A and B are shown apart, each in its own frame.
Chain A
Amino acid sequence: MRYIPHTEEDIRQMLETVGVGSVEALFEGVPAAVRLNRPLALPAPAAESELLRELGRLAARNATAASHLSFLGGGAYNHFIPAVVDQLISRSEFYTAYTPYQPEISQGTLQAIFEYQTLICQLTGMDAANASMYDGASSCAEGVLMAVRATRRRKVLLSRALHPEYRATVATYCRYLELEMIEIPFDAAGRTEPGELERLLDKETAAVVAGYPNFFGVIEDLAAISAAAHDCGAYLVAAVQEPIALGLLKSPGELGADIVAGEGQSFGIPLSYGGPYLGFFAARKKDLRSMPGRLVGETVDSEGRRGFVLTLATREQHIRREKATSNICSNEGLCALMATIYLSLLGKQGIREVAKQNLAKAEYAKQKIAALPGFSLPFAGPTFNEFVVEAQEGADVVLGRLEAAGILGGIALDRWYGGMPGRFLVCVTEQNSREEIDTLVAALAGGGR
């Protein structure tokens, strides 16, 4: 067993020091009645080479952007990851460390998180960001819980154009908290319906939650939503599933959001079949003490040198126990580090340029597809890097046809939105060349009517 160093002689000597006759005797505290009296029924150990062969075979059974042309988005995006990101996060001082409880020997993690918090504030236009959360959906749920705490109200309005899995996660988190959850319909633009929002908002409303961009890729009129919410004293929670958009779009903070909860996977984190991803969370200064999650703050050491520590722990579960602002313990530190490295490499110009490329390529694809007979764009609102297509022949038929041509052409929406059999979500990023987009369009046209 190459991970366990003990020789027979080591074990003998150690047992002698402990003062027991056998390893078995160390388990005297475990009553015989609950002992397992057989070996675990698991496969025999695999040597390193066998393991890699086995996993290689499994890996080969998955489609990726290397085996297919991919236009899949929907909250998980195929963006380019510079080589630097994986090289740096592979430094084991980063990835084999724990939560930085001992700041004198964890300054690497702590300073990187402080930089991460700063970058998220700059990007979202907010005052304070935490040291990360599990993912966009759970971060959004924590945003709702925080708005409920801050407003002491019990009604929550969720846009139906918000990512369906974010809505489902919010519903699960709030399941037993006696909150009223209401969904706001979307309009012909693919945006949260303003009239319905006005009608549903009242003095009982704690939060309005909207995607930015939303699940259909449509850029919501966040300023109007926040004005309406604030008129009733409700919080606006902006959920960002594609944060590359923030390189180009006005920040949610500037448009009046009180809480910005989002998914950071686009910032240098691999798709990994859905996780681990990076939940980011930012809020206003006045709500600092009711924010969930860990926070890193600047301070000085006993000789006056700048350094960083975990701070405001009085909000946290290990001190406040059942009164804690959330039960969050782990964060996604290494994913936050990936995002910090990615954003540092891109910098001021790069984040804008990559956002512009996403927008331009998606617009190019949109126009080409809209011009095809049998296809249309059902939503009129402005989009960023993904958009909904309506196919006369049905989404499943079209996507199946594309797949046969080696193209993952989009995500059918009918599974979440009944009565939309023809609609699918297409995502185009900087990774898709014009040639790839043209191939997609030609494949769509090949079966169009």
Chain B
Amino acid sequence: MKSLGTTGLILNEKLIFEHSDPGRKGYSLPALDVPEAPLSAELARNEVPGFPELSEVDVVRHFTRLSTWNYGVDSGLYPLGSCTMKYNPKVNEVAARLQGLAGAHPYAPEHLAQGALALMYHLQQALAEISGFSAVTLQPAAGAHGELTGMLVIRACLEARGDSRKKVIIPDTAHGTNPATAALCGYEVVPVASDGILSAAAVAAVMDGEVAALMITNPNTLGLFESEITEICNVVHAKGGLVYCDGANLNALLGIARPGDMGIDVMHFNLHKTFATPHGGGGPGAGPVGVTEELAPFLPVPLVVKDGEVFRLDYDRPHSVGRVKAFYGNFGILVRAWAYIRSMGPQGLRHATEMAVLNANYIRARLEGTYHLPHRRRSMHEVVFSDRDLGGDCHTLDVAKRLIDYGYHPPTIYFPLVVKGAIMIEPTETECVEVLDEFCDAMLAIAKETQENPDLLHQAPLKTRTRRFDETAAARNPRLKWEG
């Protein structure tokens, strides 16, 4: 078994503030060509205390060194389940930086922004086709922001019917943002247990005239397709409720099935997960929302519409919930997603889904038997194991940290909450079989280490620049900024 991780040149680096030397400059400005303007002493500050003073090379070297402490998709396999870390095509970066796109001001007159509006319109149409919904807003800035938007739309629709319901049903396999979002919309959360797949009968048992919506993730966070989805939607609709789908796992369904065709009323897309836009160490993402025809009037303003050959922003939507952010959405991310959809075409998107599912099932086949598999149904794009059968008092966290020594970013750990000691692996379609094999070999070697040398796992990672951190101390005595 060969280890991909090795020790090597590991650079040390201070905080940017600790590099500061009074008098250094890292910028240049043109000479001021107008008279200086005074500002009254009552309004002005003297300086920004604490700001660093550095040369350009100081800054370049600082952040270059910091970058070497990070692991990205371009560094290697990043099998974070439910986060879908697939390869980010480079041409999309070039596209988003075209001057006509990156330099466009959001308040430029519409007839001088036809390129941007056309791109947004075509993306809205493409997302509607991919998901089977009637209308799409591109405004939300992230998945959870899309959830908030979608749930606000649901509430607005119900209130327009004169129906002010108070509750939202959320299965135990849900993303943590779902209950928080429901609470933000003024709803009380009703949990429902799923046993891996949510049954229509379980929903029927809690569904009543007080329930505004059911929030479901499909495929769910166990990587399983909710096979009773149509029946579930029928149960909810029969009692006057609506169905929200967390679209985090849409990458398992491209060209295979469409949430809009299953009876779902609202869904958000995570463009970074499904359409390969990079996530930048935690963002930006983009969280467009698709809805049925009935819900379309309630979407945020503005929507991009086409009048003849002209694209424009439509603010004339009297039932709209309003805005969820300034301007129109994370346009730079929308450009990347559109570039991805154009590069792939319909066959390519379907092929991506097929290979993502094949890769997940391949990993499952190779690790099953060594790692405990809590749910035996066919996996979609991700597979969830648990630490139940590991030796030497080793837990999921130990496996994760040991994987770092083998040169991999760990999978998602301790999620979903319904599996004790969950290890959730999502390889995505952009990994080749050799990489999957090497990763599985590492996982198998680690399982063996839990029997033979568990201490190695308890101490891992051993080859990184820093070792395990004291997270309790960080929370107990928070130091959130540099104070000199």
Contacts and interface: CB of A to CB of B under 8 A. Distances in A.
A11 to B, nearest CB: 7
Contacts of B432: 5-6, 10
Contacts of B143: 329-330
Contacts of A60: 100, 115
Interface in A81-99: 82, 84, 86-88, 90-99
B469 A360 contact: no
Contacts of B322: 168-169, 171-172, 175
Contacts of B342: 43, 45-46, 51, 54
Contacts of B461: 104-105
Interface stretch (B28-36, B384-392, B448-456): B28-36
Of A64, A248, A300, A430, chain B has the most CB atoms within 10 Å of the CB of A64
Interface stretch (A183-191, A319-327, A372-380): A319-327
Q: Which of B102, B186, B286 has the most CB of A within 10 A?
A: B102
Given A115-B16, A275-B141, A348 B52 contact: yes
A123 B279 CA distance: 27
Interface residues of B, number: 197
A76 B105 contact: yes
A195 B93 CA distance: 51
Contact of B181 (A272, A327, A357): A327
A344 B52 contact: yes
A303 B462 CA distance: 11
Interface string B292-333: 000000001000000000000000000001111111111111
Interface string B82-101: 01011111010111111111
25 contacts: A10-B432, A28-B378, A45-B347, A58-B118, A72-B105, A74-B107, A84-B59, A86-B97, A88-B64, A105-B70, A108-B68, A122-B48, A172-B152, A270-B102, A271-B105, A273-B328, A274-B106, A275-B332, A298-B480, A301-B466, A303-B466, A309-B474, A348-B51, A399-B109, A408-B112
Interface string B32-63: 11111101100111011111111010011011
Contacts of B239: none
Classify chain A: how many residues form its interface, as a range: 35 or more
B227 A163 contact: no
Interface in B370-398: 377-378, 380
Interface string B179-192: 11111111001000
A295 B282 CA distance: 12
A17 B358 CA distance: 10
B461 to A, nearest CB: 5
B105 A70 contact: yes
A129 B280 CA distance: 19
Nearest to A123: B48
Contacts of A30: 225, 227, 253, 256-257
Interface stretch (A33-41, A203-211, A227-235): A33-41
Contacts of B328: 273-275
B75 interface: yes
Interface in B168-223: 176-177, 179-186, 189
A298 B474 contact: yes
A35 B69 CA distance: 44
B322 to A, nearest CB: 4
Interface in B225-261: 225, 227, 229-230, 253-258, 261
A191 B108 CA distance: 26
B78 A363 contact: no
Residue from the set A29, A80, A91, A129 with the largest chain B CB neighbour count within 10 Å: A29
B281 interface: yes
Contact of A350 (B26, B93, B358, B468): B26
A30 B355 CA distance: 16
Contact of B284 (A88, A274, A334): A334
A288 B74 CA distance: 35
A153 B1 CA distance: 62
Contacts of A347: 20, 24-27, 51-54
A159 interface: no
Contact of B106 (A26, A76, A307): A76
A44 B345 contact: yes
B346 A40 contact: yes
A56 B34 CA distance: 37
Nearest to A269: B332
Given A61-B113, A78-B105, 15 more contacts: A17-B365, A36-B256, A42-B126, A59-B100, A62-B113, A66-B103, A84-B26, A90-B93, A93-B68, A96-B72, A137-B325, A172-B324, A175-B155, A346-B26, A350-B26
